[in-house]
Structure 1
Amino acid sequence: MTAGSPPRVLVDATSVPADRGGVGRYVDGLLGALGAIGPDRLDLAVVAQRSDAERYSRMLVNAEVIAGPSAVAHRPARLAWEQTGLPLLAQQVGAKVLHSPFYTCPLRAGCPVTVTVHDATFFTEPEHYDNTKRTFFRSAIKTSLRRAARVIVPSKATRDELIRLLDADPTHIDVAYHGVDQTAFHAPTEEEKARVRARLGLTDAGYVAFLGAKEPRKNVPNLIRGWARAVADWPRPPALVIAGGQGHDDDIDRAVAEVPSHLRLLRPGYLRYADLPGFLGGALVACYPSFGEGFGLPILEAMACATPVLTTPRLSLPEVGGDAVAYTTEDPDRIAEDLADLLHDEPRRLTLAKAGFDRAKEFTWAGSAEVHVATWNRVAV
């Protein structure tokens, strides 16, 4: 690094999963915005899984993209490489800062490390995680708070919980809200909506949408029970479509078994990325009655698709939704009541759809990238 030149930053993108869930959306969105920052302000290097390296190389014309060893596709090997191979790579590329975007970081990196801690729900909602996952991420968060030069979080709520629960130093935490790709997530055309309905075999009765991981924290079983109670007496009841990965919530199957036979519930698994606007934007309501989120990217993506959203006022969700979404609780009876009210009130749905669409424009990956760059400049040696 010469006088006046930006410090070289190495971003470790090897934790991005193939399914492009939350961490994938974050890393992809952030890197896309970082790639638009000129080399006079950012000297960027990225290490990624081999399956991602070519795509990132096309996207990041001003960055050096390195393919990590093939073994990092498997989590245990990636975590081991993070402690040994990643610090060596940082030294080889001349990194002045190393950014780890998913909770963990090398203990001895040879340069300042910044870490993204996405949420504190492993502490606030421990009952919604299995013991192995809870223990691992609690330890990782505590270690990152202790060893990282600075920590980046996606919401003020997450920052406040880390301070309250773990006595984290507030002067070492930066809030960088996630953004939403408004090309990928947009108000869909009627053709896009119709294509998704045809693929899912949906009728004109409409549907309620959920898109996300099937983790206990997402409260999908109570969503199923609440939806079933809300629409049970409708002559043409809207379906419930639960899309995304399968997850590990056994209570979902029990809730599904309780659904009356005349109601239709679909679980299509992962949808094509190109179909997400049509899926979300074609729904009567997108419902996310979560017990708590570090940010709440699914509700922001639904808002960007001009979909009325029903969620809970837990942790960061009001920071994202503000007055542009409707709120309920985690209880199935209250979900049923609030969902029914919204389904019966088309003018309110239209108002929320417009308000959410406008509010989503405030959350950009460019803004998130600027916070990240400012953080790296603060710690660069």
Structure 2
Amino acid sequence: MRIAIEAQRIFRKDKHGMDFVILETLKELQKRKDGNEYYVFVAPGEDWCLEESENLHIIELRCPTYPLWEQIALPQAVRKLKADLLHCTSNTAPLWCPVPLVLTLHDIIYLEPRQHRSPSFYQEMGWHYRRLIVPRILKKARNIITVSQFECTRIREALQLPKEVIKAVYNGYSAYFTMQETPDESIVQYIPHPDFLFFLGNTDPKKNAARTLKAYALYLKASQTKRPLLIADLKEEYIDQLLQQEGITGIKEHLYYPGYIGNKDLATLYNAAFAFLYPSLRESFGIPILEAMACGTPVVTGNVSAMPEVAGKGAILVDPQEPQKIADALLRLENDATLYQQQVNYSLERVKLFSWKHTAEEYVKIYHCIHQ
């Protein structure tokens, strides 16, 4: 088969969840000897993180905006290629497609009611674009892939899709997320000492940054150790705004906020951290849960949406709406060495259920069902 795969953003420098999902899956597809040829369509970018091989070819498309890239340049290039199918991997796809379409729909958060506008113009425009495009392409997609059973049920019920059209395929985690005997000293560029608390958030309201900071303030009041909090992917101005909003400006001296952290450095930081905080309000999967677990780091995560499905019943699951519950979980880990070690052991076993190799295998099964 000649399989066209949209991976528009994988060469951008600051990658996020969907970028890593398809990048790591492409690396696994590249290892296969299945007779398929994979043609990956990308936009120009600084980080050339994937090399061509005998069975994988990279086609760079230049276009001034994402909608033009997806709606005009991509379908024209696919038609010229004479591909057997097109797999669009990041929630949207061309309204007109010359070949059978597979769509990865990571979530439908943008189709659900929201309390306020997105904090950045880019996020706001993306929200409107997805709301416009997604309902129109779902009926045209031959198969829809999503990333958890929770999201599969949510999408099927909300959009009234036939059961056979949509399938959950779990994400994996990268091999360099592994337990290190001695964390690399490079962490000092982010935080001057190890054994900190780690929160990976952004300005998306679902990441629950305000309540996480409130929980940390409650933790500081009760803790004798008072571990500092490293916050990834949030700028100081936004953090200051949240601290003012919650009336907890006094905790700022305990915070470190280097901004965006590259994926390779994340592995070292997970290893150096005492615990990882991921109390989101809504996740379709939650790859950072697996990344931290693979490094043997206890995770405090939400008891809603797909997080229990990924973290498993043995994880520390809390109500993300309740800062006190988040703080109490941190204090239990801090004060109970047996519980802490149990969570380390549990984490290392849990992640064995997930891999990018399995993700790639499931994708190929779907491709072949379409081609039969």
Tell me the TM-score normalized by structure 2: 0.90
| Uncovered stretches (5+) of structure 2, i.e. residues with no partner | 119-123
- 8 Å Cα contact 1:300/1:360 also seen in 2: yes
- 8 Å Cα contact 1:152/1:174 also seen in 2: yes
Question: What is the CA-CA distance between 1:153 and the residue it aligns to?
Answer: 0.2
Aligned mate of 1:101, from 79, 89, 93: 89
Question: What is the CA-CA distance between 1:34 and the residue it aligns to?
Answer: 0.7
| Uncovered stretches (5+) of structure 1, i.e. residues with no partner | 1-6
Q: Aligned partners of 2:114, 2:310: CA distance in 1, in Å?
A: 23
Q: What amino acid is aligned across from residue 15 of structure 1 in structure 2?
A: R
Aligned mate of 2:352, from 345, 353, 361: 361
1:232 paired residue number = 221
- 8 Å Cα contact 1:231/1:340 also seen in 2: no
Q: 154-163 or 44-53, which moves further after superposition?
A: 44-53
What RMSD in Å do the two structures reach over aligned CA positions? 2.4
Q: How does 1:92-131 map to 2 (within 5 A)?
A: 92-124=80-112, 126-127=114-115, 130=118
Aligned mate of 2:157, from 147, 160, 164: 164
1:141 maps onto 2:137 in alignment:
no
- Calculate percent identity across the aligned residue pairs: 24
Question: What is the CA-CA distance between 1:80 and the residue it aligns to?
Answer: 1.2
Q: Aligned partners of 2:328, 2:4: CA distance in 1, in Å?
A: 49
1:4 paired residue number = none
Spell out, residue by residue over 1:31-73, the C-alpha distance to the aligned partner (whole angstroms, 9 max, x if none).
0111111142x22111112337954234x4421211111x35x
Q: How does 1:27-46 map to 2 (within 5 A)?
A: 27-40=22-35, 42-46=36-40
Q: What amino acid is aligned across from residue 114 of structure 1 in structure 2?
A: V
Q: Aligned partners of 2:75, 2:15: CA distance in 1, in Å?
A: 26
1:56 maps onto 2:50 in alignment:
yes
The structure-2 alpha-carbon separation of the partners of 1:169 and 1:244, relative to structure 1 and needing over 3 Å to count, comes to: same
2:261 paired residue number = 271
Q: How does 1:231-270 map to 2 (within 5 A)?
A: 231-244=220-233, 246=235, 252-254=242-244, 258-261=248-251, 264-270=254-260
Q: How does 1:1-381 map to 2 (within 5 A)?
A: 7-16=1-10, 17-40=12-35, 42-51=36-45, 54-58=48-52, 60-69=53-62, 71=63, 77-124=65-112, 126-127=114-115, 130=118, 132-182=125-175, 184-192=176-184, 194-196=185-187, 198-203=188-193, 206-244=195-233, 246=235, 252-254=242-244, 258-261=248-251, 264-330=254-320, 331-380=322-371
Spell out, residue by residue over 1:279-313, the C-alpha distance to the aligned partner (whole angstroms, 9 max, x if none).
11211110111111011111111111111000112
Q: 212-221 or 111-120, which moves further after superposition?
A: 212-221
Q: 319-328 or 12-21, which moves further after superposition?
A: 12-21
Q: What amino acid is aligned across from residue 159 of structure 1 in structure 2?
A: C
Q: What amino acid is aligned across from residue 174 of structure 2 in structure 1?
A: D
Q: What amino acid is aligned across from residue 275 of structure 2 in structure 1?
A: V
The structure-2 alpha-carbon separation of the partners of 1:344 and 1:13, relative to structure 1 and needing over 3 Å to count, comes to: same
- 8 Å Cα contact 1:214/1:248 also seen in 2: no
Tell me the TM-score normalized by structure 1: 0.88
The structure-2 alpha-carbon separation of the partners of 1:87 and 1:36, relative to structure 1 and needing over 3 Å to count, comes to: same
Q: Aligned partners of 1:140, 1:346: CA distance in 2, in Å?
A: 50
Q: 134-143 or 263-272, which moves further after superposition?
A: 134-143
1:56 aligned counterpart, secondary structure: coil
Question: What is the CA-CA distance between 1:211 and the residue it aligns to?
Answer: 1.9
The structure-2 alpha-carbon separation of the partners of 1:313 and 1:35, relative to structure 1 and needing over 3 Å to count, comes to: same
Q: What amino acid is aligned across from residue 229 of structure 1 in structure 2?
A: L
Q: Aligned partners of 1:238, 1:81: CA distance in 2, in Å?
A: 46
Question: What is the CA-CA distance between 1:359 and the residue it aligns to?
Answer: 1.3
Q: Aligned partners of 1:312, 1:288: CA distance in 2, in Å?
A: 7
Question: What is the CA-CA distance between 1:97 and the residue it aligns to?
Answer: 0.4
